Amino acid sequence: MKPFGRLVVTFVFTTFLVPLTYAQTSIAGLTLPGKPDEIRGMLIDDDIFLSAAFSTASPTRNVRSFFVHPDGKKTEVDLKVVGDKPMIAGVRRGDNTFFYYVDEISKRAVIRCIVVDSIGASKSLSKTIDIPGKIYGTYIEDDDLFALCALKNEFKLKLLRIRDGAVIDETSFPLSFDIGKNKGAKVSFFDASIPTTPLEASSLVKLVKDKNLIWLIADEPISLHDNYNYDPQSAPMFKTTVIRVDLKEKKTSIKSFFEPSLNSFTSALFNGDVYRLVIDREPRIDQFNFESGKKIKSIKLLRGEDPGRDSTYARIAKYVKTEKDVKKAQIVKRLLGYLFIVDSLSVQQQLLTVGHYGDHMLTFMGFTDVLSAALSVASLLIADLSEGPYSCVYSYYVGSPDTNYTATYRTPLLRQVIDDYEYRLMKGKVRFDYRGYLHQPTFTYAFYQRNKSNVLEIFKFEK
């Protein structure tokens, strides 16, 4: 076991700030060699895998990788051969962990694999995997890695099944549009069982893994730029294209849902129905049945008038503020935008998160043009834990299409629990150099590095 740095178990963030229905546990404190440029991570069985990159005087960054175990101990992992190349997955099989990353050979991008044993020693496999186009999503199932890829002008979604560094199966599904021409920053990929993040929800093209189904939701609304130059005679129809891929039956179903009004909109999927937030003077929610392709209901969304409101959250770079703090700022005036999430509270009640997400620069730091062309932001299963320097404003509405939706300021979402917690820290003048999250179905790992501190503190929030 190689030392990554001094292990410091901390209980600095007291638990009385979190509601009693939630548990907050200090997992570990890791002393880092400085402020990380980024930290990427994922869960592998019960371990947290972290890969932290630090700037150096040379063009190559210093990358340190390690497992954090449930007891707070750590094992440093020898991934020097990977360096700063983009890593897309880690799969544990027996005592070995197979890490997959993207490399460049003769001006083409390939997937390589490195195997790490239980004590952190590694060896590289000689096989490489050619990438058919761009990777738009990856997930792990039955101890195998699955990669969703698309090539420009093919109108197909390819699913690669990879085991022990080799492709063991490849399936193609037809699409009604060319996803391969979309820029990576416009496409998100996420699992329906894990709470959706604002970045994932704000994409106009979403790939959603839902058990044996993969949904592709592509919104084609009018943009703010087009609004000024709109010509009703030549403009195309505004629509949402929804494609359902049945992985078990290997079938594809395609439906289009049209929007006649000249407004921006964004869509979400909930229990097999399509929900569309149309951004108008009086925003509305449209609910569509995918099977029939018909609209079920359309209702208006009214904002609350409570002057004491304090839970319209504004995340600005490293800070968390509320509507009270930024009431006169432009950021609150642009509250509605391409951020829309539908969560379940009960069989008959949903919770809507609506807002604006923007000012987020998505870059592949240090990647060559070849590697960048092979990846979308969504493909990085080992993902950047930090949500980055951006502005995000959102608030909550509770109800259903049958009973209308009304603004609510207290929700049972773990997202709000963490927001409230960080907001109180901010009011107590606690600031962070780094802040990131690793979300799972029933809990969230939060990673904090305070200003002028080299300790990365890891906390677990759970119901």
Q: How far apart are CA 28 and CA 460, in angstroms?
A: 10
Structure confidence at residue 236 (pLDDT): 52
Position 232 pLDDT exceeds 50: no
Q: What's the pLDDT band for 314 if we cut at 50, 70, 90?
A: confident
Lowest mean pLDDT among 4-8, 288-292, 337-341, 417-421: 4-8
Q: Rounded to two decimals, what is the model's pTM? A: 0.86
User: Measured at the alpha carbon of residue 340, what is the angle toward residues 152 and 400, in degrees to the nearest 5?
Assistant: 130
Q: Residue 402: its pLDDT value, please?
A: 83
CA distance 114 to 101: 8
- Chain mean pLDDT for the chain: 82
How confident is the model over 305-326, as a mean pLDDT? Answer: 69
Can you tell me the mean pLDDT for 149-164?
92
Query: Which tens digit of pLDDT belongs to each residue from 276-310?
Result: 998 877 788 999 999 999 999 998 887 666 655 66
Integer-rounded Cα radius of gyration of the chain:
22
Chain length of the chain? 463
Residue 125: pLDDT over 90 = yes
Strands 23-31 and 455-462: antiparallel
DSSP string, 171-222: EEEE-SS-GGGS-GGGEEEEETTSPPPHHHHT-SEEEEEETTEEEEEEEEPP
Q: How confident is the model at residue 14 (pLDDT cuts 50, 70, 90)?
A: very low
Q: What percent of the chain has pLDDT over 70?
A: 81
